[in-house]
């Protein structure tokens, strides 16, 4: 039988896959695993296999604060227990304070009827555990694989790969990062702004213990977070203007420890040791739509937000849960899972929620950038009021938890 005849026969039978997910990071791998466990024939396409995680390795500089909603999803996917037991930093408190006004707000899990507010976990640990779980769930892992183009047809979307192969699926899910080549191929534009800032990251040892608390201080140049790690150290995420970030990266160790101590108001005492530092650029980016024909965006491909609230990956995992539930409802109703009206439901709900969150984080970044004395005083008054108004404070905590 000729290759043309084989392709024609495949078109008559329908696509072999329900969903093709492109991008094997935390959100893409979670999407592939969630959809496979929900009974969809799923493939994950990734350019390179993630590096194996090992407890003997130094803690990854890129960490995520997993909210209860994200932990619940990972638990449903059967990977949370292994992540928690491998290495995670639980925290029951969050303390946020303003360097200029002195105003502060404190969140306590006990006040919300919970044991914990979340866990600080290494990105590569989450990604590796998800990657290992894919095969057992029946996900076809195509790696290395690179999508060079795609075409939506009546009952499928056909993907052309760099190695000359072609695969068909009912739905294509783009989870290929903030620079998403697939988003560009689909002709979807983005809006946002470059913060002209970089997040300087490192893991540090401090004179006093972190007390199972996520600490965040808002400074005139940007927020500084000290996040509790499982080994007693704290992960630093220090947002600075580009030039200042370069200067901080170039400091010798002693000068860096001293500068960080001052920036953190010595809340955990002196900073007594640090890993090598790294930095990554910060921007706000929102896709103008999350869908095209038989195509949806997920995670950073759809939205990139300021790290001050630590919600980027949590938003992506909420995308995963929404997409899974939307496709399940369509299948149960006997509908095409990639029909435009089905994907519109996912896209409308998640883009609305993500946009509100992203613009909220952006507003916070702008508000904490105020330096005029009357504005600083007004900001401080607002923070103190929120800390004292129980229902409002509780609603903020619930929103961060994904409720």
**pLDDT digit string (tens) for 198-219?**
999 999 999 999 999 999 998 9
Residue 349 forms part of a structural domain: yes
In a domain, 3, yes or no: no
Q: Specify the pLDDT at position 174.
A: 98
pLDDT value for 395: 54
Mean pLDDT of 246-267: 97
Residue among 96, 26, 34 nearest 64 (CA): 26
Band of residue 13 on the pLDDT scale cut at 50, 70, 90: very low
pLDDT of residue 309: 55
Q: 238 and 144 in contact (C-beta within 8 Å)?
A: no
What confidence tier does 351 reach under pLDDT thresholds 50, 70, 90?
very high
Query: Which residue range forms the structural domain that includes residue 113?
Result: 11-401
Residues 201 and 278 sit within 8 Å (Cβ to Cβ)? yes
* Res 4: pLDDT: 35
pLDDT band at 220 (very low <50, low <70, confident <90, very high): confident
Q: What percent of the chain has pLDDT over 90?
A: 72
pLDDT value at position 218? 87
CATH of the domain at 241: 3.50.50.60
pTM of the model: 0.89
Long-range CB contacts for residues 258-267, cutoff 8 Å, separation at least 24: 260/204, 260/224, 260/236, 263/217, 263/219, 263/224, 263/238, 264/215, 264/217, 264/224, 264/226, 265/97, 265/99, 265/217, 267/215, 267/217, 267/226
- CA-to-CA dists, residue 102 to 94, 211, 271, 367, angstroms: 16, 21, 22, 15
Instruction: Give helix 26-37 / helix 312-332 axis angle, nearest 10°.
Output: 20
Q: Give the DSSP per-residue string, 223-266.
A: EEEEEE-TTS-EEEEEEEEHHHHHHHHHS-HHHHHHHHHHHTTT
Does 324 fall in a domain?
Answer: yes
For residue 113, name the pLDDT band (cuts at 50, 70, 90).
confident
- Residue 382 corresponds to which tokens in the numbers above? 């607002």
**94-98, 139-143, 201-205 — which is least confidently predicted?**
94-98
Mean local confidence (pLDDT), 329-354: 96
Residue 2 falls inside a structural domain: no
Say if residue 63's pLDDT is above 90.
yes
pLDDT value of residue 373:
66
For residues 100 and 185, the model is more confident at: 185
Name the strand (E) or helix (H) holding 322: helix 312-332
Instruction: Summarize the confidence of residues 344-369 as an average pLDDT.
Output: 80
What pLDDT is stored for residue 7 in this prediction? 39
Grouping H, G, I as helix, E, B as strand and the rest as coil, residue 284 is strand
Helical pair 390-401 and 373-388, crossing angle rounded to 10 deg: 90
Q: Write 183-186 long-range contacts (CB < 8 A, 24+).
A: 183/287, 183/297, 183/301, 185/147, 185/149, 185/150, 186/292, 186/295
Q: Is residue 302 within 8 Å of 350, Cβ to Cβ?
A: yes
267: which 2 tokens? 């809340």
- Give the CA distances from residue 373 to residues 171, 370, 380, in Å, rounded to whole numbers and listed in that order: 53, 8, 11
pLDDT at 143 over 80: yes
Instruction: Report yes or no on 1 lying in a domain.
Output: no
Cβ neighbour number for residue 36 with a 10 Å cutoff? 25
The pLDDT score that the predictor gives to residue 92 is 94
pLDDT given at position 3: 36
Helix H or strand E segment including 202: strand 190-206
At residue 5, the pLDDT reads 33
Round to whole Å and give the CA distance between 96 and 104.
Answer: 6
Backbone angles phi, psi at 30, to 5 degrees: -65, -40
The mean pLDDT of 374-396, rounded to a whole number, is: 56
pLDDT (0 to 100) of residue 10: 39
Over range 4-15, report the average pLDDT.
42
Closest by alpha carbon to 310, among 402, 191, 196, 175? 402
**Contacts (Cβ under 8 Å, ≥6 apart) of 10:** 16, 168
Give dist(CA 146, CA 280) in Å, integer: 25
Average pLDDT, whole number, for the chain? 88
What is the pLDDT at residue 106? 83
Minimum mean pLDDT range among 59-73, 104-118, 229-243: 104-118
- How many structural domains comprise the chain? 1
Region of residue 214 (phi > 0: left; psi between -120 and 50: alpha; otherwise: beta): beta
* Lowest-pLDDT range of 6-10, 88-92, 215-219: 6-10
Would 4 be classed as within a structural domain?
A: no
Rounded CA separation 362/384 (Å) = 20
Query: DSSP letter at 276?
Result: P
101 inside domain: yes
How do residues 158-183 score in pLDDT, each as one tens digit? 999 999 999 999 999 999 999 999 99
């Amino acid at each position: 039988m000729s290759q043309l005849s084989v392709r024609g026969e495949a078109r008559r039978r329908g696509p072999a896959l329900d969903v093709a997910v492109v991008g094997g990071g935390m959100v893409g791998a979670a999407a592939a695993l969630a959809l496979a466990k929900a009974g969809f024939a799923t493939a994950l396409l990734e350019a390179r296999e993630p590096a194996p995680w090992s407890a003997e390795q130094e803690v990854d500089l890129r960490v995520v604060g997993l909210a209860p909603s994200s932990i619940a999803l990972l638990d449903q996917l059967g990977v949370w227990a292994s992540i928690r037991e491998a290495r995670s930093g639980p925290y029951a408190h969050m303390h946020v304070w303003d360097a200029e006004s002195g105003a502060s707000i404190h969140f306590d899990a006990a006040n919300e009827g919970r044991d914990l507010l979340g866990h600080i976990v290494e990105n590569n640990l989450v990604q590796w555990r998800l990657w290992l779980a894919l095969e057992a769930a029946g996900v076809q892992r195509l790696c290395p694989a690179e999508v060079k183009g795609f075409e939506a047809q009546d009952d499928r979307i056909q993907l052309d790969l760099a190695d000359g192969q072609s695969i068909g699926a009912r739905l294509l899910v783009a989870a290929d990062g903030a620079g998403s080549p697939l988003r560009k191929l689909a002709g979807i534009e983005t809006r946002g702004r470059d913060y002209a800032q970089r997040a300087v990251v490192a893991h540090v040892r401090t004179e006093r213990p972190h007390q199972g608390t996520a600490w965040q201080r808002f400074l005139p140049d940007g927020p500084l977070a000290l996040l509790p790690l499982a080994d007693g150290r704290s992960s630093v995420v220090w947002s600075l203007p580009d030039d200042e970030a370069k200067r901080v990266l170039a400091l010798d160790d002693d000068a860096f420890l001293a500068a960080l101590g001052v920036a953190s108001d010595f809340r955990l005492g002196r900073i007594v040791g640090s890993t090598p530092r790294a930095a990554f650029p910060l921007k706000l980016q929102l896709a103008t739509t999350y869908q095209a024909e038989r195509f949806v965006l997920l995670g950073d491909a759809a939205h990139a937000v300021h790290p001050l609230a630590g919600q980027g990956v949590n938003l992506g995992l909420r995308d995963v849960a929404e997409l899974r539930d939307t496709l399940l409802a369509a299948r149960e109703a006997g509908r095409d899972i990639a029909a435009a009206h089905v994907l519109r439901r996912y896209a409308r709900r998640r883009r609305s929620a993500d946009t509100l969150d992203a613009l909220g984080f952006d507003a916070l970044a702008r508000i904490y950038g105020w330096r005029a004395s009357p504005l600083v005083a007004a900001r401080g008054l607002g923070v103190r009021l929120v800390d004292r108004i129980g229902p409002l404070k509780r609603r903020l905590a619930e929103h961060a938890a994904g409720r």
